[in-house]
Every structure is written in structure tokens, then in C-alpha cells.
Amino acid sequence: MTCRQLVLASTSPFRRELLSRLGIPFETTNPQTDESPFPNETPEATALRLSEAKARAVAHLHPDALIIGSDQVAVLDGVVYGKPGNHEKAVSQLRAMRGRTVNFFTGLCVFDSKTGDTRVRGIPTLVTFRDLSDDAIENYLLRERPYNCAGSAKSEGLGIAIIARMQGDDPNALIGLPLIALCDLLADAGLQVLGSNQ
């Protein structure tokens, strides 16, 4: 196999750390993509569309690369819970989700900027939250400050304490980059993670 340039179209430190686990050299580029949903677009469709849009947004900077784009939405009763951005919104999110099961849906795309081949996959992770008291929510948020995490849940940190159960094919998906699916998509694109040239 030939060694292709690998690009992560994201500035997320969480996604960068996850991708580094595969031991393949890669670059990161800010996709600067408008993440607003389209009218009447389902949350899952938004995540899939944005994962591809992010990858395509940086293709002109990397004309011969495999570009990874990813986007995640937290969905409960058809309502999307994005990154709260501040304490008040995070409190509101966790109060709405306590004792409930939320779909953290991750869209993943591998775009070949040389050929235009596009591979997209959606990975759902069902997260059941503990029935948290207001005090527990406050304590968690003050200690973790997960204001840049969809649904205010940072499962790779203290957020694991507010979760009762997770159901999904890849524990990394909840953090933002489903590595099992990514290995599949990269292999389909000709890049073997455990290939002899890596």
C-alpha cells in the first residue's frame, strides 16, 4: 500500500488524542464549518452531513489526502442538546437528561480529496443518565466544567459518574471519534492501520 497523508478536520483536543492512539502520522486543520441544522433536517442527518462538510471544507488545502470529518449530536425526544457553552445551559441540559436515555449520534466521514470518494457512517451510542439531584449536577459541573461537550457529559473524565449505562459499538464514539468505524473506513480507502508501511 502507499502511505497517504491523513488529515483530521477538527480542532477538538479529544478527537486529536483519540486519533493519535492509532499510531499513524496526521495533521489537523480547522474546518470552520457552519454547524447550523437545515430546516426539517433530523439530528442524525445533520451529524452525517456536517461530518462530510467538515472533511470537504479543508480538501483544497490537502489535495492528495484522506480527510477525516466527525460531528456529534445528543438527541432526546427529538430535541438536540449541543455544547452548552456555559454553566446555566449545562444545568438545564443535565436536568432534562437525568434518569433518561439519550442518543449521542456521531457522524463520521473519510473523504479522499484526490479521487472524491466519500465514505460516511453514523454511530449511535445510547447513554442512560443517573437520576441526579440538583446538588449532584452542580458538583459535577463545578468540578468538570464540560461546557464544550455535547450534552454536558464528558465520559472520559468525571462524567462517567453521572452515567448509569452506555450501549454502543464503540466506546470512543461518545468521546467524539469512533475508532472502530474509522479503521473500517480507512481500510476501505486503502489505508491499513496495521499495514507494514505504518
Using only the alpha carbons of the chain, give its radius of gyration. Answer: 17
* Start-end of H helices in 43-189: 43-57, 87-97, 134-144, 171-175, 179-188
Point out the catalytic residue in the list 64, 71, 169, 170.
71
Whether 71 is catalytic is yes
Q: Is residue 40 part of a domain?
A: yes
Residue ranges making up the domain that contains 106: 5-188
Q: Is residue 196 part of a domain?
A: no
Q: Which residues pair with 165 in a beta bridge?
A: 128
For residues 92 and 119, the answer to whether their CB atoms sit within 8 Å is no
> Which pLDDT tens digit goes with each residue over 39-92?
999 999 999 999 999 999 999 999 999 999 999 999 999 888 888 999 999 999
| pTM score over 0.85 | yes
Q: Is residue 193 part of a domain?
A: no
Q: Is 161 a residue whose pLDDT tops 80?
A: yes
Domain CATH code at residue 179: 3.90.950.10
Count of domains for the chain: 1
Q: Is residue 82 part of a domain?
A: yes
Q: Is residue 167 part of a domain?
A: yes
> Which pLDDT tens digit goes with each residue over 112-132?
999 999 999 999 999 999 999
For 36, what's the count of Cα atoms within 13 Å in the CB-facing half-sphere? 3
Q: Is residue 195 part of a domain?
A: no
